[in-house]
Amino acid sequence: MKKAMKTAGLLAEKLTYPAVRRGDLVETLHGVQVADPYRWLEDPDSPETREFVTQQNDVTQRVLSEMPFVAETKARMTELFNYEKYSAPRKHGGKYVFSKNDGLQNQSVLYIQDELHSDPRVLLDPNLLADDGTAALSSRAFSEAKLKDGKLFFAHGISRGGSDWQTIKVMAVHDNNKILDDTVEWVKFSSIAWTHDDKGFFYSRYPPPEKMKNDKHDDAEGPKRGTETDSNMNHQLWYHALHTDKQLK
């Protein structure tokens, strides 16, 4: 109770929100004048909006940092989450694949093993794809390994920074987990489905947002995918032919 009262007092005494500019935009809709003084905030990429968001975050972080129970709660939650987590193994191309998290890893690591009782080895560790740990394995599919040469391919979608956008890459599992040149971008809300001949896979995507057409997914200096406010329209089914840059709609 004392902690709650202290927090309430902190909010009452020190919480001051940043000033918000009121614009003079007025629209006439069906003969009625409607003021929209905060329309400028609808552009998330404008310098003014970014500065406003920064100021709001500063207020939030300042309050949270001074709350007496935050550190205690964080320590307890960390303790509760710190245990090994496994998925059930699944068989692909005569091998077994499962995911494991040591406890506090940002992303679970994908492992592969030849037999159920053999030593597992790392197939893909998303934690190595971004310094901040926000690169996530969002979708995945193994080829059916029905080719006569026994090749096994692993198509996987990687999202960054919590975005729904994915970039699909292809790994040649049979060739020391080599990442191929095959790259499929602007994938969203999609699974991956290999054809039975293992020569390619189906996926779904959207056209890239207008202001992000030239964005590279790994470009840290470019616009962040997922921060755009454009509507996604015209969801499309596509086919990617393996070892090529051909994308068929």
Least confident segment among 13-27, 88-102, 166-180: 13-27
Per residue in 72-81, pLDDT tens? 999 999 999 9
Q: 234's torsion region: left (phi>0), alpha (psi -120 to 50) or beta?
A: left
Confidence of residue 222 (pLDDT cuts 50, 70, 90): very low
Which residues of the chain does CATH 2.130.10.120 include? 83-248
Quote the CA–CA distance of 17 and 34 in Å, as a whole number.
Answer: 26
Residue 242 CB neighbours (<10 A): 20
Confidence of residue 228 (pLDDT cuts 50, 70, 90): confident
Q: What is the mean pLDDT of residues 129-156?
A: 88
Tell whether the model's pLDDT for residue 174 goes beyond 60: yes
Confidence of residue 154 (pLDDT cuts 50, 70, 90): very high
> Which pLDDT value is given to residue 221?
42
Tell whether the model's pLDDT for residue 2 goes beyond 70: no
**Tokens in use for 39?**
């329309």
Q: Which residue has the tokens 């996987």?
A: 156
Q: φ, ψ for residue 78 (rounded to 5)?
A: -60, -40
Quote the CA–CA distance of 3 and 67 in Å, as a whole number.
Answer: 8
Q: What is the largest CA-CA distance in the chain?
A: 75
Buried-exposed string 48-87: b where 16+ CB fall within 10 A, e elsewhere:
eeeebeeeeeeeeeeeeeeeeeeeeeeeeeeeeeeeeeee
Q: Percentage of the chain surpassing pLDDT 70?
A: 88
> Which pLDDT value is given to residue 223?
53
Decide if domain 83-248 falls under CATH 2.160.10.10.
no
Per residue in 189-217, pLDDT tens? 999 999 998 999 999 999 888 777 666 65
How would DSSP label each residue in 34-51? EE-TTGGGG-TTSHHHHH
